Structure 1
């Protein structure tokens, strides 16, 4: 009997797809921007993704604040920007770009099917603010603890399209959580709360702050601070290790330029709740999170010529 399973149902009142390949179970919610709500390692009983304990699920409102109402946890896709701002180029110059992009606020067309020993989940969504089509294909092979994610973005206009993209999986931050990157890795600080970095650039993993150093490899959940940094690891992978030793690893291919790292050690909540303790490992195209700053400051961003496509991929493995 095949280990591959597809179940369609509801979660928190919203349509959900539950897919299993044996070692892994994922739950995806098309109405919440294609959110991956659950990523479970069934062999170890580990549910990897953080879930916000304070915010209820609801159908997205494109005019709502992401951090106040829709920072629900799980894995979102951020495109065509990450931070709120405006589109900086003609012919759409001045168009408001929402926080965490617009994909989270748009329902996706999503279908799942089994082909032999592979399970495929394809999600598609059309841009509302800019003329693009965004597509993500998840591929799960039977009895393998990995998921391959293939991305394609199509520029559907006669003008160049500039963008940022970031995967946005959130994880619980527990005492003893460790982050492993291939060194050396040059880092750049984008934002901090509760920390005063002595420099905006640093060498992983030691962030110079105040009169001491913060070791980002094993952040203290009770630190009372939050930081967003961008890294360029020596090789295209990063690993998160839980206190008991279970690990979650992401590798990337294609025009991915950075690894974004968000660590919230009890330093921030955007919803008027107690501060969160979570972190995000974010392979991305372009930096920092604001598209205008990326184009006019850091100089790293995605670019799609008229009527052209871009493709890239991630592979996530647990062990």
Structure 2
């Protein structure tokens, strides 16, 4: 017997262009889906400048043109974005990222365009930290390949298969067990189920660039000395988290005209 389908609930999104294009709210009439870190004062996030260490304030951050590496969480999360009608644009060196956010029938759509030198390699993740309970779970079709990154040691990558992440189940989000894993999953969709609520994420690109999902499952295992709980889902253009480490088949490349597009849709 299949479970009854949860009725869709309309979503609304808010962002802050002055603070890196940050997603500040993703909510239905009944709940807020984005988590806010109670340990980080609002002023700590509001005063960041390019080159500053990442501030884990929660919400949703745009990670571009890499997710980790020398530029932790990329370069654009700490830069003000320039609005242009319903779109906004930000530059990172010789690359530029444009985002167009729309809402239709309760579904939020983010359309992205990357421009820069032809064939330039990029990674781009929409880093959404979710406010979900210990009974929440992730639903991904099939048993796709998983790449556990920075495990078992910093700099390591370990292959696995969904939902395994080196002995940790990626699809179960609690209770806190003192573990933390970051993994890249070869999928273009995920559902978050938390009690009676469901959040549906779908993404893709008209190009042949890879897309995947980064799962950050931190159940009180990070950081050392003062761990806390945080759950991140990051639809990803690419298939790695470190642009410098990734093979050429695991990053996205701009086309011969110096352009690349992809999209993300989220429904309640």
TM-score by length of 2: 0.86
Note the residue ranges of structure 2 that are not aligned, 5 or more in a row. 1-8
Q: Report the alpha carbon displacement of residue 34 of structure 1 after superposing the two structures with TM.
A: 0.5
Q: Is the 8 A contact 2:11 2:267 kept in 1?
A: no
- Aligned residue for 2:6? none
- Aligned residue for 2:4? none
Note the residue ranges of structure 1 that are not aligned, 5 or more in a row. 1-21, 86-97, 113-120
More strand per residue: 1
- Aligned residue for 1:15? none
**Aligned equivalent of 1:246, options 197, 213, 218:** 197
Q: Is the 8 A contact 1:173 1:277 kept in 2?
A: no
- Aligned residue for 2:254? 304
- Distance change in 2, residues 1:100/1:285 (3 Å): same
Q: Report the alpha carbon displacement of residue 256 of structure 1 after superposing the two structures with TM.
A: 4.3
**Aligned equivalent of 1:135, options 98, 111, 122:** 98
Poorly superposed stretches of 4+, deviation over 6 Å: none
Q: Report the alpha carbon displacement of residue 75 of structure 1 after superposing the two structures with TM.
A: 1.0
Greater RCO (CA < 8 Å, at least 6 residues apart): 2
- Aligned residue for 1:18? none
Q: Is the 8 A contact 1:150 1:314 kept in 2?
A: yes
TM-score by length of 1: 0.73
Q: What CA deviation, in whole Å up to 9, does each residue of 1:136-187 have, x standing for no partner? A: 101112xx221111100111x4x64221111101113421011000012111
Look up the SS of the partner of 1:206 in the other structure. coil
Q: Is the 8 A contact 2:125 2:234 kept in 1?
A: yes
Q: Quote the Cα distance in structure 2 between the aligned partners of 1:215 and 1:308.
A: 39
Q: Quote the Cα distance in structure 2 between the aligned partners of 1:39 and 1:307.
A: 34
**Aligned equivalent of 2:25, options 17, 23, 38:** 38
**C-alpha RMSD of matched pairs (Å):** 2.4
**Aligned equivalent of 1:201, options 135, 143, 159:** 159
Please identify the structure whose Cα radius of gyration is greater.
1
Matched positions, count: 252
Q: What CA deviation, in whole Å up to 9, does each residue of 1:241-271 have, x standing for no partner? A: 11x220111101213421111101011138x
Query: Does residue 1:289 correspond to 2:241, yes or no?
Result: yes
Superposed counterparts of 1:98-177, under 5 Å: 98-110=71-83, 121-127=86-92, 130-141=93-104, 144-155=105-116, 157=117, 160-177=119-136
- Distance change in 2, residues 1:305/1:253 (3 Å): closer
Look up the SS of the partner of 1:310 in the other structure. strand
